[in-house]
Structure 1
């Protein structure tokens, strides 16, 4: 409650400042839906969930013109649960994004803080017709859990676009005592956007080493270890045909912690599934304007290339209908088929899911 009170105080303070300075904006998303999940060992569950389409949030963004084309920028963004009114991550406030930096139209932007990885932005902005929303989204089978999506203590440089080509470089400091590389993470993206075509390559590399000091502070204590790094790469593209937009993506993962399971709680019982350390993913999808809204569909295949061969496939379909410029209604359904004891689940934007099938019906409002 103290953290929530602090967030409210900050919101009022920033709102007051925004009224006097047009360079500061208060924004957010309120999203909630009815979710029906089935197929897990615990049985079917029906619930109201927050963030089914887009994670509910409250944010503050601002800029200051420093002259000569240079602008100071910042973003502070907290996640909230519409179904309960709680902060969506215990022990944090601005857990979604929190960064400050400088931006120039000619030179690009340099930002410091908690930020999305170039790898995750490739999945969400280019690869997935669902935009990582609803049941059936790309996060169910492409690895986005943990630091694959967002990292703290990160420096990001985003270049300006030149003839449609742009790039991003990211480096997250591991901040483990006694080592400059243990726990560090580096990422890069290269993109082209021109006319109806968008293409983007994203890469992520995370060091899995643990120093003696860091291991001793963990609960329970963990011995110092030198481990192979986790590597994730994805190439994605979409093309607007006018009557439809088509999507395709191929991802490759290698090393420990490269593809943590979205739901690691053994949702189907029996022998607990093992997260792959050598895998590949394929996506084919489309979005089609229809019935006053947009129909989205995708097929995703997960290829576990370890000896366990725990493969999976997912088929998903969704429909979004705009009631206004800020509000849309949506519904979605997806089904996963696991093989050889795989444990993948149908989640949505904010939840990992509990079974191999899910239905969503909800509303999203942005402000």
Structure 2
């Protein structure tokens, strides 16, 4: 009898398994172009570079419906250099992102190597170059706190346009959980053309005796014919170090493309007063829904020994001026 019942149950088990299969999407970006850098002590250099507007990548993401409005999700994203074929992010297999989690009506909980809430605030709300990371990116002067290892992140549902994003990165140091840990979070509002977000990021040092913290208030307003961006950051530590940053810029549709303009300022509050300002301009021209070409230029004015460089999505740069020209394909 037991064998008979088991035989009857097998088709139902296989049917349920088929219904619960994970839907997996393979995606990626291949981005390459010319980068001309100048202003370095060693002289100007022209490179064929990868990941100028967006880091070249190959990713896998999946979702399994668990019922009751809940789903399991995962994302594995590898970074690579299209100019050489070498792995990015210091050779990590999935150095861009690697996480798994659950989503539902109460929000999303994910675990792994992920973008910090602070970085997403700067990228999505406060920087006109945030989504492309060309030469005029705010991250040339501002702290970005891009990725965090060992991170647990909770993103709430939106209530009246308000959403919270909280994250904890475990330091994984025996005897003291505060050592090397990171704390990050954001609270944002999106309503109609306006987006406003407040973010905070803190990293404790290896002995938990000091920390670096960054607070950022970012906003943008889409008036249709123009989107305006404004951000202000306050940075503290290590020690008595203090600096304030400001980003102002616009995105303008021009013919079939988009023109980006930005001004970034770093105000060093320490006695050495190593201030810096950056001006950036870029133009992106879509050739199709998946492919675009771009050109960008940025220059930094370093003062009192400051040594900030003009980088892009992948490289930190070598000098205080850079020109980008390339092509990006999404698949």
Q: What TM-score do you get using the length of structure 1 for normalisation?
A: 0.83
1:19-30 equivalences in 2 (<5 Å): 23-30=23-30
Q: Which has the larger radius of gyration?
A: 2
Output the aligned Cα RMSD. Answer: 1.4
Quote how far apart the aligned CAs of 1:209 are.
3.2
Provide the residue aligned with 1:200 in structure 2: 197
The runs of at least 4 aligned residues of structure 1 exceeding 6 Å deviation read none
Provide the residue aligned with 2:123 in structure 1: 124
Say which structure is richer in strand: 2
Distance (Å, rounded) in 2 between the aligned partners of 1:158 and 1:95: 22
Distance (Å, rounded) in 2 between the aligned partners of 1:292 and 1:239: 21
Provide the residue aligned with 2:283 in structure 1: 319
Quote how far apart the aligned CAs of 1:92 are.
1.4
1:231-246 equivalences in 2 (<5 Å): 231-246=213-228
Given that residues 22 and 63 in structure 2 are in contact (C-alpha distance below 8 angstroms), is that contact kept between their aligned partners in structure 1? no
Distance (Å, rounded) in 2 between the aligned partners of 1:365 and 1:227: 46
Q: Secondary structure at the match of 1:325?
A: coil
Distance (Å, rounded) in 1 between the aligned partners of 2:91 and 2:58: 17
Provide the residue aligned with 1:92 in structure 2: 92
Residue 183 (str. 1) matches residue 154 (str. 2): no
Quote how far apart the aligned CAs of 1:326 are.
0.3
Quote how far apart the aligned CAs of 1:91 are.
4.1
Unaligned 5+ runs, structure 2 = 1-19
Unaligned 5+ runs, structure 1 = 1-19, 211-225, 258-275
Distance (Å, rounded) in 2 between the aligned partners of 1:36 and 1:239: 33
Provide the residue aligned with 1:365 in structure 2: 329
Distance (Å, rounded) in 2 between the aligned partners of 1:301 and 1:347: 16
Distance (Å, rounded) in 2 between the aligned partners of 1:277 and 1:96: 30
Residue 249 (str. 1) matches residue 231 (str. 2): yes
Given that residues 165 and 186 in structure 2 are in contact (C-alpha distance below 8 angstroms), is that contact kept between their aligned partners in structure 1? yes
Distance (Å, rounded) in 1 between the aligned partners of 2:31 and 2:255: 22
Distance (Å, rounded) in 1 between the aligned partners of 2:25 and 2:38: 41
Q: CA-to-partner distance for each residue in 1:16-54, whole Å, 9 max, x for gaps?
A: xxxx96710000000011000000001000011111000
Q: Secondary structure at the match of 1:90?
A: helix
Provide the residue aligned with 2:11 in structure 1: none
Quote how far apart the aligned CAs of 1:277 are.
2.5
How many positions carry a matched residue from both structures? 311
Provide the residue aligned with 1:271 in structure 2: none
Q: What TM-score do you get using the length of structure 2 for normalisation?
A: 0.92
1:1-367 equivalences in 2 (<5 Å): 23-104=23-104, 106-131=105-130, 133-144=133-144, 148-210=145-207, 226-256=208-238, 277-367=241-331
Q: Secondary structure at the match of 1:122?
A: helix
